[in-house]
Amino acid sequence: MDILASLRGADHRLTQRMAAWDSAWARRLLPPVEEAVEHTKLWWAAAGVMAAGGGRRGRKAAAAGITAMALAELLSNGVVKQLIERRRPPKEWIPHSDVQDRPDSSSFPSGHTAAAVAFTAAIAPTWPWAGAACCVPTVMVAVERVHSGAHYPTDVAAGAAIGLAAAALLRATPRLLLHGLR
């Protein structure tokens, strides 16, 4: 029980520290990141660019990214959020105006992070350069979710794990279908 209490305390301290992070970089860059990833707009745009300009490889990467993202959203928002009810970080911890825009749903896990990680992890095997380029906004999404007060760091970590699992499941699906579950 002490391990859980210790983890919860560290989670709360890190949330407060990240939310209080006041830099010109954060004020300028993080709000547009939040807007870009709302309703997965950034990832749909990236998939469109890859499909339009990347030839066969781009279309394959885009399809993998969108499919993994959809699976991650289903798992995070449709399953885990329904099973685990966790309140958002207290508004008093968030010293900036972003706290007004928080969702009402469970804080655990971060669906935005799950979608971002799933998209990036799914496209990387097919088109490594595109995957590397998507890593930057993916990390920024994770930072923004805690900075805005929408999530605790453990929510973001769980979202990242769900995103990785969705991409891995998508990658394994053809092998499972071809060889069966032995």
C-alpha–C-alpha distance, residues 177 and 163, integer Å: 21
Q: Domain for residue 5, yes or no?
A: no
C-alpha–C-alpha distance, residues 134 and 40, integer Å: 13
Look at residue 57 and give its three-state secondary structure.
Answer: helix
Q: In terms of DSSP H, where are the helices of 38-84?
A: 41-53, 55-73, 81-83
C-alpha–C-alpha distance, residues 27 and 21, integer Å: 9
Which residue range(s) make up the domain with 149? Answer: 43-179
Q: Domain for residue 171, yes or no?
A: yes
The more confidently predicted of residues 135 and 177 is: 135
pLDDT category, 101, cuts 50, 70, 90?
Answer: low
Q: How many domains does the chain have?
A: 1
Cα-based angle 48, 170, 132 (whole degrees, multiple of 5) = 50
pLDDT category, 30, cuts 50, 70, 90?
Answer: confident
pLDDT category, 175, cuts 50, 70, 90?
Answer: low
The pLDDT mean for the chain works out to 85
For the stretch 70-95, pLDDT in tens is 999 999 999 999 999 888 887 887 77
CATH number of the CATH domain containing 144: 1.20.144.10
